[in-house]
Structure 1
């Protein structure tokens, strides 16, 4: 099974993926540009502080490149932006875990400090959230394009029933929840014979 098999081509959630990628890309681009403006040395492991985090020339370059990739994903938009957000978010989380173990060692070529590790975790979670929004959940509503793509038969039945004018509440919506509550309360009120 390919991941792209479950992705609808056009949906309103694409705006969330696009703005999320653009916002996070812009933050990284600004951080990297501030590092270049200070003319940092490329491979110092102690790092100089920029915007409250330690950095060096290589980290500034990586930040600018990742920021440009995210902005490029925002320009492309759609499912590409969603997938890109999830991949970059996961890489940020992985980077945070790796840098916890190499903070005060020569292997710390990006000049990470503890604030960078925390930033990496927070930014990773934010980017992941933007990428997974409306796409990954235990209970997607039936009007969600990802649910409709994954459950094509049920979605077709619901569409047909709507066209015929039959009242079939979509699970996960307010109408369905009200009807479920109403039927359970009437069931409780009906005496057993």
Structure 2
């Protein structure tokens, strides 16, 4: 992708932000598992964690996604860039589906509007992290600079 910056000066900051998002998802999911222990996997009740609606199923999914983001952040080598970009799109789809089914019986992940807003914000920040965290050779950086200046 010629439009994605290579060796951005702030890439360590972006990588740290990606790690914090993964850590937040793990903590949220772990607290959700604790809060919804004993409930059904997709219970539609008033379980809230950090002000967000959740159930055991979404809490487990949050832990899984957070661990994947953290592993990608630790490994680096542009694997974190791919993981962050793909998972940001996944989180966007999940949050938009949650918004679509918010007031229906199809709300199987027990979302609230706060959950949708937080998840969409996390996905947008994760997408930004994925787009500015790419590492490459000096030749790739020079090619990106030339492509950028053409536009």
TM-score range, shorter chain: 0.7 to 0.9
Tell me the CA shift for residue 134 of structure 1.
Answer: 6.3
Detail structure 1 runs of 4+ shifted over 3 Å in the superposition: 10-14, 144-147
Q: 1:27: Cα distance to partner?
A: 0.2
Greater RCO (CA < 8 Å, at least 6 residues apart): 2
Q: What residue ranges of structure 2 are gaps of 5+ in the alignment?
A: none
Aligned residue in 2 for 1:23 = 20
Asked if structure 1 preserves the Cα contact closer than 8 Å seen for 2:42 and 2:57, the reply is yes
How far 1:125 moved relative to its partner? 0.9
What residue in structure 2 maps to residue 102 of structure 1? 101
Shift of 1:20: 2.6
Counterparts of residues 60-79 of structure 1 (less than 5 Å): 60-79=59-78
Q: Does 1:133 align with 2:127?
A: no
Root-mean-square deviation (Å): 2.9
Residues 46-102 of structure 1: CA deviation (Å, up to 9, x unaligned)? 340111001100011000000000001011113111121111112112222211111
Normalised by the length of structure 2, the TM-score is 0.78
Is contact 1:32–1:59 with CA below 8 Å preserved after alignment? Answer: yes
- Note the residue ranges of structure 1 that are not aligned, 5 or more in a row: 136-143, 156-170, 172-193
2:78 aligned counterpart, secondary structure: helix
